[in-house]
Amino acid sequence: MSRLDLFINRMVSQRACLNHAAKLTQGMAGPVFELGLGNGRTYHHMCEIMPDRDIYVFERAVASHPDSTPPDDRVFLGDVFETLPRAYERFGATASLIHADLGGHNAEKNDVFAREISPLIAPLMAEGGLMVSSDRMYFDDLREIALPDDAIPGRCFIYKR
Ligand code: SAM
CA separation (Å) from 4 to 8, 17, 134?
6, 20, 16
**What is residue 126's three-state secondary structure?**
strand
- Integer Cα distance of 143 and 139 in angstroms: 8
Whole-number Å distance, alpha carbon 127 to ligand 1 midpoint, is 26
What does the pLDDT look like over 143-155, one tens digit per residue?
A: 999 999 999 999 9
Domains of the chain, by residue range, sit at 3-160
Ligand 1, atom 17, residue with closest C-alpha: 36
pLDDT-based confidence at 39, cuts 50/70/90? very high
Identify whether the C-beta of residue 7 lies closer than 8 Å to the C-beta of residue 70. no
Fold for 3-160, please state it.
Answer: Rossmann fold (3.40.50)
Residue 10 binned pLDDT confidence (cut-offs 50, 70, 90): very high
pLDDT digits (tens, 9 = 90+) for 57-97: 999 999 999 999 999 999 999 999 999 999 999 999 999 99
**Nearest CA residue ID for atom 7, ligand 1:** 38
Ligand 1: which atom is nearest the Cα of residue 40? 5
Q: Whose CA is nearest to atom 12 of ligand 1?
A: 36
Inter-residue contact 59 to 37 (CB < 8 Å): yes
Across 128-138, average pLDDT? 97
CB 58 within 8 A of CB 33: yes
Q: pLDDT grade, residue 47 (50/70/90)?
A: very high
Predicted pLDDT at 94: 98
* Ligand 1 pocket list (CB less than 6 A): 36-42, 58-61, 79-80, 101-102
AA letter at 31:
P
